[in-house]
Amino acid sequence: MADVARLAGVSHQTVSRVLNDSPHVKEQTRDRVLAAIRELDYHPNSAARALVTRRSKTLGVVSFDTTLYGPASMLYGIEQAARSAGYFVSIASVRSLDARSVQDAVDRLRDQAVEGVLVIAPQTSSVGALAQVSSAVPMVALGSGAHGRISGAAVDNESGALAATRYLLELGHRTVHHVAGPANWLDAQARQAGWRTALESAGAPVPEVVPGDWSARSGYQAGLRLLADPEVTAVFCANDHMALGLLRALNEAGRGIPAAVSVVGFDDIPEASYFTPPLTTVRQDFGELGRRGLELLVAEVEHGSRGRDRVLVAPELVLRRSTAAVRS
């Protein structure tokens, strides 16, 4: 920093203000300091800064199965929110969300001097696991596993499924069939609950749930099963990948979409608007989810204690061409 100050012709304190993005620096002075930083290829030493301030400005994330769209998008949302808040992120991945795996991941992160931990918690096992993790570090759960003894943020899956199902009923469909996610996923349970509530509230028949595993392949197999019933006119899928497989099965059988069958998904993956036809779906705002989860964690870090706050992020129904009113 002394070298940068000397080259820029400013004080050590001015360099510090520029690095900390202080508003109390003239634009011309800021530009001169930044030019000196680039010329000298200067990078602040985070380890040295942590020794002085006793703050690592690093948060840990325990992630699970990041190949799936939801958890992977949560991880991206956390990283973006942390960067905006001036924090670094360190990640520990686990193969299963049992208590021992989560505790081991938290211990690895604590060895890196993280100030708090976010846990992506989508499965039923995560609720019990988080309840058993040591309380020595601030911790927040992200996803539907955000229940119990710690704070958490999640998308309101139930209200999203409720809105999707009601929309199909308002189009005149007698009932709505459901292709569900895995039974041990809390998101899948909440979406199924929202679908069922919408049907029961409307006095509509509640068909047997068709199980899936989040994959397009399972959606295709669900489509083959639903094709056996000519009365099927509307299907709500618990995610967009299963909806994609369902669309293929219906297209191969000559069941026009949406002329014969309306289809709604959940997630609004980037490819959803390019399906044939473009998919009506429920959009999750993972950027907002990451931001709200990070706010909870930073508040705990600042106060030095865990909380039990619960934040729900509202989803949005996105209308495209895979749904239509029932034909007479």
CATH number belonging to the domain at 2-44, selected among 1.10.260.40, 3.40.50.300, 3.40.50.620, 1.10.10.10: 1.10.260.40
What kind of fold does domain 55-154+286-312 have according to CATH? Rossmann fold (3.40.50)
H or E stretch including 264?
Answer: strand 262-267
pLDDT per residue, tens digit, the chain (328 aa), is 889 999 999 998 898 888 877 888 999 999 999 999 989 888 776 555 544 545 668 999 998 766 788 888 888 888 888 888 888 999 998 888 788 888 899 899 988 889 999 998 888 877 778 878 876 788 899 886 656 578 899 999 999 999 999 999 999 999 999 999 999 999 999 999 999 999 999 999 999 999 999 999 999 999 999 999 999 999 999 999 999 999 999 999 999 999 999 999 999 999 999 999 999 999 999 889 988 999 899 888 888 767 778 899 999 999 999 999 998 6
Domain map of the chain by residue range?
2-44, 55-154+286-312, 157-284
Centroid of chain to Cα 19: 31
What is the Cα–Cα distance from 201 to 191, expressed in whole angstroms? 15
Please indicate whether the domains covering 2-44 and 157-284 agree at the CATH topology level: no
CATH number of 157-284: 3.40.50.2300
* Three-state DSSP class for residue 279: coil
Do 58 and 115 contact (CB within 8 A), yes or no? Answer: yes
